[in-house]
């Protein structure tokens, strides 16, 4: 039985590009996916790196963070920004 944490972790390790996409693919609620991501970052299973800010020249529609951003609120910032999430260690 895989719970939300395993599902979200699997999506991150599968390279699912955006939080919105993770939400779509897992069918979990936005709130739970974000909480799970925050938890995985805090417990050191994934790392979250803030990327340089700035809008893509092609407009907001193509911005990977258009569907919301992945920066864990628990890490201090609630402002939308682009972050890259990466696995700290392979999933057992």
Partner 1 sequence: MSESTHPRVTGSVTPETSHPRSAARLAPAKSCCQTPSQVSAGPRAPVVAIVGAPNTGKSTLFNALTASRVTTGNWPGTTVEVSRGVWRATPPASPCTRGGCADGHEESTQDLTVLDLPGAYSLDAHSPDEHLTRELLQEGPVDERPDLCVVTVDASRLAHGLYLVAQVRELPLRVVVAMTMSDVALQRGVSIDSHALAEGLGCPVVTTDPRRRTGLDTLAAVVRTTLAAPVPAPRPTPDTDDALTRDDDRFTWLSAAAEQATVVPGHDRLTLSDKVDRWVTAPLLGPPVFLAVMWAVFQLTTTVATPLQDALDRLFSGPVTDTVMAGLTLVHLDGTWVEGLLVNGLVAGVGMLLTFVPLMALMFVLLALLEDSGYLARAAVVTDRLMRTIGLPGRAFLPLVVGFGCNVPAISATRILPDARQRLLTVLLVPFTSCSARLTVFVMLGTVFFGRNAGTAVFGMYVASVALIVLVGLLLRRTLWRTMGSEPLIIDLPAYHVPTLRLMALVVWQRVRGFLRTASGIIVITVSAVWLLQSVPAVAGQSFGHVGVEDSVYGVVARTVSPVFEPAGFNQWQTASALMVGFVAKEAVISSWAQTYATDQPQPGQSGLLGEHIQAAFQQSSGGHTLPAVLAFMVFLLAYTPCVATLAAQRREVGLRWTAFGVAVQLATAWLLAVAVFQVGRLFW
Partner 2 sequence: MATGMDLRSAPLGEPLTLLRVDDPLLGQRLATLGLREGVSFRLLTHTVGGGRILLVDGSRIALGSDLVRRLRARAA
If one asks whether residue 66 binds partner 1 (CB under 8 A), the answer comes out as no
Q: Nearest distance from residue 10's CB to partner 2, in Å?
A: 14
The nearest distance, CB 24 to partner 2, in angstroms, is 4
Q: Which does 43 bind (CB under 5 to 8 A by kind): partner 2, partner 1, none?
A: partner 1
Among 1, 15, 27, 57, binds partner 2 (CB under 8 A): 27
Q: For residue 69, with 0-12 CB atoms within 10 Å meaning exposed, 13-18 middle and 19 or more buried, which class applies?
A: buried
Neighbours of 25 (CB within 10 A): 15
Q: Between 29 and 43, whose beta carbon lies closer to partner 2?
A: 29
Q: Read off the DSSP letter of residue 89.
A: S
Helix axes 4-13, 30-42, angle to 10 degrees: 70
């Amino acid at each position: 039985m895989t719970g939300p944490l395993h599902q979200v972790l699997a999506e991150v390790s599968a390279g699912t590009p955006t939080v919105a996409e993770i939400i779509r693919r897992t069918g979990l609620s936005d709130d739970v996916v974000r909480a799970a991501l925050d938890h995985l970052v805090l417990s050191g299973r994934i790392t979250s790196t803030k990327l340089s800010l700035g809008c893509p020249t092609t407009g907001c529609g193509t911005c990977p963070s258009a569907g919301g951003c992945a920066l864990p609120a628990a890490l201090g910032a609630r402002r939308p920004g682009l972050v890259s999430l990466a696995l700290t260690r392979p999933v057992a």
